[in-house]
Amino acid sequence: MKAVLLAAGYGTRLYPLTENLPKTLLPVAGRPMLDWIADKVDDVAAVDELHVVTNARFGAALEEWAHGRRGRLDAVVHNDGTTSNENRLGAIGDIAFVIDRTEIGSDDLLVVAGDNLFDGSLADYVDWWRGKGDGSAIAVRDCGDLELARQYAIVEVDERDRIVSFVEKPPNPPGTLASTATYVYRREHVPLVRTYLDEGNSPDAPGNFIAWLYTREPVYAYRLEGVWFDIGDHEQLRIADETMRRQLA
């Protein structure tokens, strides 16, 4: 299994903090966000390569982070060549970019957004996914509130936890199971990232690929335990920092 961390965004909603520093390197409880996520990936014994995709604006900063990190897996940084929010490849475009320039397209793939913080176990997630045997998977969290559910992609599942509905930011949510940007792609499904893009679909939010894939192949929803933060603005960053500091105290 290979892992890809998505770190090519420009974090414009976090200005001025992200004008000269990538969002994924902003400190949470004294450590860059990517440290927390990469440590979770290290715990997955099946993962033997860790890839991080970034952009030309922050490529040097991510290279420095990778060089200084001490973990089980050495991080390989890929610069997608983009320079602004206007010409970015998008999350799915970046996944395809890494697949195209490496040899990871023939293996199972763990993909995590670099601003997606959680304290659940990726190792448990991968073990659960392997038990399904025939599909890909997405981690979900019960946000517990229908009003809040309007802000997320909401999934519905059957008795085997197979996704039967995936709706992005629904005005009338059918439930409160919210998708997180934490995915396991079965190796047979990895080439379908290129198929999806070649059909002219949106290269942006990674959930768009899942919305396309679940209607064609089995995709399962794993319930992620513990806290979860999708850090998109100053308030979420503050809450994540305070929560993680409390856990470390």
Query: Given 3.40.50.10490, 1.10.40.30, 3.10.50.40, 3.90.550.10, which CATH number is that of 2-137+181-223?
Result: 3.90.550.10
Report whether 110 contacts 41 (CB < 8 A). yes
Q: Where are the domains of the chain?
A: 2-137+181-223
Q: How many CB atoms lie within 10 A of CB 19?
A: 11
Q: Tokens representing 42?
A: 């290290």
The residue behind tokens 């999350």 is 91
List the pLDDT tens digit at each of the 249 positions of the chain.
Answer: 999 999 999 888 889 989 889 999 999 999 999 999 999 999 999 999 999 999 999 999 999 999 999 999 999 999 999 998 888 999 999 999 999 999 898 999 999 999 989 988 999 999 999 999 899 999 999 888 888 888 888 999 999 999 999 988 888 888 889 999 999 999 999 999 999 999 999 998 888 999 999 999 999 999 988 888 888 889 889 988 898 888 877
Query: Is the preceding omega at residue 203 within 30 degrees of 0, hence cis?
Result: no
DSSP state of 23: G
| This prediction's pTM | 0.94
Report whether 139 contacts 44 (CB < 8 A). no
DSSP state of 74: P
